[in-house]
Amino acid sequence: MCSSKLVNYLLVIALLLLLYKHVIAEDSQDGFHGDERDALLTLKKGFNNSFLNVNWTGIQCYMNSTPNWYGIQCTNGRVTGVSLENMGLVGKIEPYALVNLAELSILSFKNNSISGNLMNFSYNSKLKKVDLSANRFDREISSSLLGLNFLESLQLQENNLVGSIPGFDQSSLREFNVSYNNLSGKIPDTGILQSFGLSSFVGNQDLCGAPTPTACSSSLNDSSDPPHSDNKSSFLSTTLIVVDVIVLFVLSIFLIIYYKKYKKLKKQMQRRNSVQVNEEKREAITNNSIALTDNSIENSVPAREDDRGKLMFLDKNGTYFELDDLLKASAEGLGKGNFGNCYKAMLEIGPAVVVKRLRDLKPLSSDEFMKHVHAIADKKHPNLLPPLAYYYSKDEKLLLYKYASNGNLYNRLHEGRGTQNRVKFRWSSRLSVAHGVARALGYLHLAIRSQTIAPHGNLKSSNILLDENDEVLVTDYGLISLIALPIAAQRMVSYKSPEYQGQKIVSKKSDVWSYGSILLELLTGRIPTHSAPQGANGVDLCSWVNRAVREEWTAEIFDVEIAAQRSANHGMLGLMQIAMKCCEKSPEKRPEMAEVLREVEDIKIVGDSEDEEDLSLDQSLTDDSLSASTPSLLIAAERR
């Protein structure tokens, strides 16, 4: 009996090892790792450390060669260690900063001055060593640490951590230290925690229970798991035999299925490997710019035709082409969008298209993905830019759009200021943009009845495109349903709204808020903080305008390029009033999009007469002339 049990165990272990090895090997080849790079760059930006700013450039990991980035360890091109000790790093780390570092095994920020929350480690299941000692972390010990089943060493001493100690009971834990913090409550009664000596817990005034000498007063209850019951092990031993027979059976079936796929997988792995190398080489070339400037997008899809999906066209009447046409086309990087890189592809037949690579998606099956994309493409309006086609494979998801030849509103508004190349962006053009965007949003809000989502979700000036006739095309709408929530919360405009910061909700009114910010951006020529691209300085436009109005430096609000157009002053003030209503902190006070649309359309476009252009600024718009016409604006501002 005993020996047959042993044989069973050995078999199970052997099978597990086999499975584990192949599954892991397959995983580590999966795609290339821009996400890891982004995570590290975000850390770098947060620390703003002069050494890291210079040292963390270029490519972080190249297969198995020694990384060029200080403190980084890599295996097979994946980041497995981040170790930044004694560097005087200050600041906070986002709770979700490590989400994309799934292979991380060693993490140390020992002896710095980092404060705030501990990170959420839920996505770092391979962590073995975590050392955050001698910092200024001042919140609770994250319960996500309890889920780390390989954790061997946890060093949290010499911080200002508060709250009670969670009930650690992973048997892997060999080293543990939470001394010299501000922890309180009973030390949980788990076997593992009780195996550490007093020196792991000293220096916390309000800790009680073994191994400290202080007994807990009865009012302090243990918040952790109840201690393991003793008859659990006897229960286990009686059911073990049954369990391992079942496990063995299931595993054998898995194994058979797995071996059938194994050869095919191996081939794919080799091919993907070479794709990855090319990708990284290209990124290495362009290490300091965010745009990829390669001239082919060939590497983004498998080389062999039968492994590829097809391009699926969403509009049956448009130009039709094959994936191969796209791969042959010369391409130009348009820069890095929020959810992946964008390319412009010049097809030999037909017009140029924009290819958007999607990253950080929710895990969606091909059917679900298709359903979402069709729902987006079904929204048709002259001021919306729907996707033309999509491509779905395990490793790559692409959306194709028509190319809008006059660029985006962000560039039109802010690029080339103060240079000779700058073409003035006059009032009538700005107002027509405001009209177009309002129409597009009004339509989306009507088409999507739900009150609890933001139908656009990511409205900002770089997502407002201008076609060859300067007509507005709003793009990037509806992607909110495709993106994983933690990522969306970091990157999408609706999640920057006051209601998400406060109550963690977004709704149609969040789009209204984003629209208000666009209006202010059009009126002031300034960049709003929440949509400023990396490297650009933004202002919190809503507060800034409110203050300006309250303190009566109204004349300085408007962009100098339009301030001189006197005949338009009335319209500008009207638009400003609408913008301020849309920017209200509380979503209930903001108008519905339909009402906004009506009011914006009431502001009529007047010609930009040429003679006004010659008027010098100081005589055309003084504080007097403005405040005479702004009583209602001022009153509106004062009521807030």
Selected from 108, 135, 164, 179, the binder of ligand NAG by CB under 6 A is 179
Which of 120, 338, 383, 517 touches ligand NAG (CB under 6 A)?
120
Given the structure tokens 């809503």, which residue do they identify?
Answer: 542
Q: Is residue 195 close enough to count as binding ligand NAG by CB under 6 A?
A: no
Q: Does 211 bind ligand NAG (CB under 6 A)?
A: no
Work out the number of other CB atoms within 10 angstroms of the CB of residue 189: 17
Among residues 68, 153, 212, 319, which is the contact residue for ligand NAG, using CB under 6 A? 68
Q: What is the CA radius of gyration of the chain?
A: 29
CA-based nearest residue to 577, from 569, 567, 588: 569
Structure tokens at 101: 């570092």
Residue 607 engages ligand NAG in binding (rule: CB under 6 A): no
**Interstrand relation of 182-186 and 162-163 (parallel, antiparallel or unpaired):** parallel
Question: Based on CB atoms, which residue is closest to ligand NAG, 193 or 621?
Answer: 193
Report the phi/psi class of residue 42: left, alpha or beta, with left for phi > 0 and alpha for psi in -120 to 50: alpha
**Interface with ligand NAG in residues 477-496 (CB under 6 A):** 486
Q: Would you count residue 170 as binding ligand NAG (CB under 6 A)?
A: no
Q: State the nearest-atom distance from the C-beta of 510 to ligand NAG, in Å.
A: 21
Residue 65 binds ligand NAG, judged by CB under 6 A: no
Within residues 270-329, the interface with ligand NAG by CB under 6 A covers none
Q: What span, in angstroms and rounded, lies between the C-alpha atoms of 109 and 131? A: 6
Shortest distance in whole angstroms from residue 513 CB to ligand NAG: 25
Residue 113 vs residues 65, 77, 86, 107: alpha-carbon distances, Å: 31, 30, 9, 16
Nearer to ligand NAG, 83 or 406 (CB): 83
124 binding ligand NAG? (CB under 6 A): no
The smaller minimum CB distance to ligand NAG, of residues 91 and 591, is found at 91
Q: Is the dihedral of CA 402, 465, 417, 532 positive or negative?
A: negative
Applying CB under 6 A, among 157, 383, 507, 577 the residue interacting with ligand NAG is 157
> Which of 272, 194, 222 shows the shortest CA–CA distance to 29?
272
Should residue 335 be labelled a site residue for ligand NAG when binding is judged by CB under 6 A? no
Query: Contact with ligand NAG (CB under 6 A): which of 64, 172, 221, 411?
Result: 221
- CB 458 → ligand NAG: shortest distance, Å? 21
* Residue closer to ligand NAG (CB basis): 48 or 405: 48
| Virtual torsion, Cα 477, 480, 486, 487, nearest 10 deg | -40
| Distance from the Cα of residue 446 to its chain's centroid | 28
Q: How far is the CB of 96 from ligand NAG (least distance, A)?
A: 7
Q: Which is nearer to ligand NAG, 116 or 486 (CB)?
A: 486
Residue from the set 48, 195, 270, 411 that interacts with ligand NAG by CB under 6 A: 48
Q: Cα separation of 184 and 207, whole Å? A: 4
Q: Counting beta carbons within 10 angstroms of the beta carbon of residue 503, is it exposed (0 to 12), middle (13 to 18) or buried (19 or more)?
A: exposed
Residue 262 binding ligand NAG, by CB under 6 A: no
Does 115 sit near ligand NAG (CB under 6 A)?
no
Interface with ligand NAG includes 200 (CB under 6 A)? yes
Pick between residue 155 and residue 299 the one whose CB is nearest to ligand NAG: 155
Residue 444 to residue 459: CA distance in whole angstroms: 12
Kindly state the smallest distance separating residue 356's Cβ from ligand NAG, in Å. 26
Q: Which of 8, 28, 57, 286 binds ligand NAG (CB under 6 A)?
A: 57
Burial class of residue 269, CB neighbours in 10 A (0-12, 13-18, 19+): middle
Q: What Å distances lie between residue 220 and 2, 195, 204, 208, CA to CA?
A: 46, 22, 15, 9
Is position 508 annotated in a ligand binding site?
A: no
Tell me the number of residues near ligand NAG by CB under 6 A: 29
226 binds ligand NAG (CB under 6 A): no
Cis preceding linkage at 591, omega within 30: no
* 303 Cβ neighbours under 8 A, 6+ residues apart: 271, 275
Q: Of the ranges 154-162, 261-269, 368-376, 517-525, which one interacts with ligand NAG (CB under 6 A)?
A: 154-162
Bridge pairing between strands 330-337 and 340-346: antiparallel
Task: Name the residue among 409, 419, 504 with its Cα closest to residue 460.
Answer: 409
Check binding of 501 to ligand NAG (CB under 6 A).
no
Is residue 219 within the footprint of ligand NAG (CB under 6 A)?
yes
* Residue 45 one-letter amino acid: K
Q: Give the 3-state secondary structure of 333-401.
A: EEEEECCEEEEEEECCCCCCEEEEECCCECCCCHHHHHHHHHHHHCCCCCCECCCCEEEECCCCEEEEE
88 counts as binding ligand NAG under rule CB under 6 A: yes
- Residue 221 has a CB neighbour count (10 Å cut-off) of 10
Asked if 206 and 183 touch (Cβ cutoff 8 Å), the reply is: yes
Nearest distance from C-beta of residue 112 to ligand NAG, angstroms: 7
Structure letter (DSSP) for residue 308: -
Q: Rounded to the nearest whole angstrom, what is the least distance from the CB of residue 381 to ligand NAG in the complex?
A: 35
Q: Which amino acid is residue 564, in one-letter code?
A: A
Looking at 5, 20, 25, 86, which residue binds ligand NAG (CB under 6 A)? Answer: 86
Q: Which of 162, 210, 277, 634 binds ligand NAG (CB under 6 A)?
A: 162
Q: Which is nearer to ligand NAG, 94 or 244 (CB)?
A: 94
Q: Toward ligand NAG, which CB reaches closer, 110 or 508?
A: 110
Q: Of 36, 103, 131, 158, which lies in the binding site for ligand NAG, with binding defined by CB under 6 A?
A: 158
| Segment contacting ligand NAG by CB under 6 A, of 25-33, 137-145, 573-581, 602-610 | 137-145
- The annotation places the binding site for ATP at 356
**Positions that interact with ligand NAG (CB under 6 A):** 48, 50, 55, 57-58, 68, 70, 86-88, 111, 120, 122, 142-144, 157-158, 160, 162, 177, 179-180, 182, 199-200, 219, 221, 486
